[in-house]
Structure formats: structure tokens, C-alpha cells
Copies of this chain bind each other. A is one copy, B any other.
């Protein structure tokens, strides 16, 4: 879906099995994201500070986001609308139009924020792209994700770019089918256990958890007895993937 170059000969390549297909999540795996949302939420607390305390504002925002997720989906525009609803509800409709305008502008700032790659990302992606086929699998707003991928400077390292509305087992199965990749040849790398690890394990592929320093409350997964590697540094992924592909 993105402006990234695509290789249309994917089905043919997929039959040469010495290479793996390495899936990367984008937000908080390749570039900073949740920190920007957290900074914005901090601004919202300041704006609404004379109506309620921090804990009340945070709880209300989470409640509104959870209520709206099924209708808005992921992304900044839905977050902006949820912040506006939070401001109205927490102020008992006393919030001013000027403050709501401020919230709209906070949403626009998030949409226009420059991309900052996480430490080591460019090296790791370069190195893996030389040995494997890379697939970017990211969820959220189609246009915003496309612009982030373009701004990352990484687009040409990826064999395929897939922007999806939800990361569940059915989505991963569909993507692998579409590009004729066997689950045994697929490794997903991402910061979210709920989105990047558990649904990938569920379809018989492998996954590596590389945590970001913040996890959005609606992405926190309940992990039972699933086993998967967690690496604190993306650079360590290279050695693990080398081991898996040998």
C-alpha cells in the first residue's frame, strides 16, 4: 500500500528457501512512537489540570480510547478525537473552544512529527536486508504510516511493505499466503507481545520480542506459558536470526 518499491516476483523468490523472511514492526521497533504519544498526553494533562488530577485525566483518556478503538481503529486522528472527548467529559462541557483547538493542533503536531529511528536500526536493517527478505508489517492509519515509512529512509531495504488495520493471526496468515511464504520461513520482530509475537506464534511462525521502554496500556498482553526470545537490544537480533537460518 505504500510508496515503497515492491518486488512483484515474490512468489518465484519464495521458493529459494535458504533465506528467511524477516518481518519488522514499525512503531517503537524501528522508530520512536509511543514516547510522542506520551509527550502529547503530558500536554493534555497540563491543559486539563484545572478540571481534574493527572490520574483522573489518564483514566478517562484510557476509557475513551478503549470505547472508541472498534470505531476509530489505531492512529493519531482517532487519538485526537478521543482527547477531545476526554476534555469535554472531564470538564463537564466547560472546556473552551480555544483549548479544543489546542488539542487539534497537538494531533497535527503528532502527524507531522519527524521520524527518529531507534538506536542501531539502520545498521541492523542493512545487515539483515543483505541476507534475507524483509517485510515491514505495521498497523495504524494508512496515509500516516506511508509517510512515516517514506521519512524513515528505510523503504528500499524492504521486499514488501504491508499496512494493516489489525495484527491478528488471520492477518499474518493472509500476508504470508499472499507472498507465498511458509510460516516456518517467517520471523517477526517487534515491541508488542500482543501484536508482534503471540499472533505470529499462533500461526506456527517465529517471533522475537524487542521491548520499547513504554507500552501503551491497550497493547499490554497477558502472556501465559508461551515461550519466545526477548532481546533488550535490536542489534542482538542479527545473531539470533543467523543461528535460525543456518
Residues of A within 8 A of B (CB): 1, 3, 6, 8, 11, 71-75, 77-78, 80-81, 84-85, 87-88, 91, 93-98, 100-101, 104, 107-108, 111-112, 141-144, 146, 162-166, 170, 174, 177-178, 180
Residues of chain B within 8 A of A93, CB atoms compared: 96-98, 101
A87 to B141, CA, bound (A): 25
- For residue A99, give the distance in angstroms from its CB to the closest CB of chain B: 9
- CB-based contact A1/B163 at 8 Å: yes
A164 to B164, CA, bound (A): 11
Q: Looking across the interface, which residue of chain B has its beta carbon closest to that of A105?
A: B85
Interface centre among A73, A75, A98 (most CB of B within 10 A): A73
Q: Count copies of this chain in the complex.
A: 2
- For residue A204, give the distance in angstroms from its CB to the closest CB of chain B: 18
Interface of A: prevailing SS:
helix
15 contacts between A and B (CB under 8 A): A1-B163, A6-B174, A8-B180, A71-B112, A73-B141, A73-B142, A80-B81, A81-B107, A85-B104, A87-B97, A88-B98, A93-B98, A96-B97, A141-B141, A142-B164
Residues of chain B within 8 A of A11, CB atoms compared: 8, 11
A214 to B174, CA, bound (A): 36
Residues of chain B within 8 A of A91, CB atoms compared: 97
